[in-house]
Amino acid sequence: MSQVFHPRFGFRARLALLGVLVLIVGGCLAWRGMTGDPHRLGEPVAQPVPFSHKHHVGDDGIDCRYCHADVETSAFAGLPPISTCMTCHSQLFTDTPMLRPVVDSWRSGRALHWNRVYQLPDFVYFDHSIHVAKGVGCVTCHGRVDRMPLTRRVVPLSMKWCLDCHRDPQKYLRPRERVFDLDWHARDQRRLGLRLVRAYRIDTARLTDCSVCHR
């Protein structure tokens, strides 16, 4: 059997096979690197300024809408312009090195570039305002940002993750007035959820249509 191939041919064939294998695996890894999430799930994302939701939301109690002003009315929650930071930081902590990029940006008029933590591919459509209007809490998709010194992603943002809720939204719905309350828990989620699906006229049959998220 061992004489079917010349020993040297066998060696070259094996070398070639190995080469092909390395190319395939390498190619897959490179593809994943180019198209996959820029940040790993759960890892804090570095920013030009170490902005802390823990300090600003958890300790100082600033409402999400103060900085993410469009979240109730538009598809995008929006990131705050430097002028929003300067309402406080034109007086507070202006000398700390940590705030230097903020002060520089304010003086030069050049916007700070925040590294994105949550980002969907272009072929997926998402809208904040409808989720807020129908009682999906910020905490359900973004976790306890009030405990995060640096913001990190807490959900996979996969199609399966979206669909898990679109199939059974009653597992997650809360009263609209609790959407921004990160501490809130339902006492009986099942009952409340079913009641809210009716009250907010949520059409679960339609929510899994491809065209809802791929338009």
Sites for ligand HEC among residues 96-115 (CB under 6 A): 98-99, 102, 114
Shortest Cβ distance from residue 174 to ligand HEC (Å)? 10
**Within 32-91, which residues bind ligand HEC (CB under 6 A)?**
47, 49-53, 55-57, 59-60, 62, 64, 66-68, 71, 76-80, 84-85, 87-89
Among positions 6, 93, 100, 184, the unique one binding ligand HEC when judged by CB under 6 A: 93
Residue found by looking up tokens 């705050």 in the block: 80
Nearer to ligand HEC, 18 or 92 (CB): 92
Structure tokens at 87: 């309402």
Burial bucket for residue 14 (CB in 10 Å: 0-12, 13-18, 19+): exposed
Sign of the Cα pseudo-torsion (33, 37, 41, 46, in order):
positive
Question: Should residue 189 be labelled a site residue for ligand HEC when binding is judged by CB under 6 A?
Answer: no
Query: C-alpha angle with apex 67: 63 to 69, nearest 5 degrees?
Result: 95
- Burial profile 117-132: b = 16 or more Cβ within 10 angstroms, e = fewer: bbeeeeeeeeebeebb
Contact partners, residue 148, CB within 8 Å, separation at least 6: 44, 52, 53, 54
Question: Should residue 6 be labelled a site residue for ligand HEC when binding is judged by CB under 6 A?
Answer: no
Among positions 16, 18, 41, 92, the unique one binding ligand HEC when judged by CB under 6 A: 92
Question: Should residue 174 be labelled a site residue for ligand HEC when binding is judged by CB under 6 A?
Answer: no
Shortest Cβ distance from residue 108 to ligand HEC (Å)? 15
Q: Which stretch binds ligand HEC (CB under 6 A): 11-19, 22-30, 153-161, 183-191?
A: 153-161
**How many CA atoms, within 13 angstroms, populate the side-chain half-sphere of residue 191?**
3
Question: Should residue 196 be labelled a site residue for ligand HEC when binding is judged by CB under 6 A?
Answer: no
Question: Should residue 147 be labelled a site residue for ligand HEC when binding is judged by CB under 6 A?
Answer: no
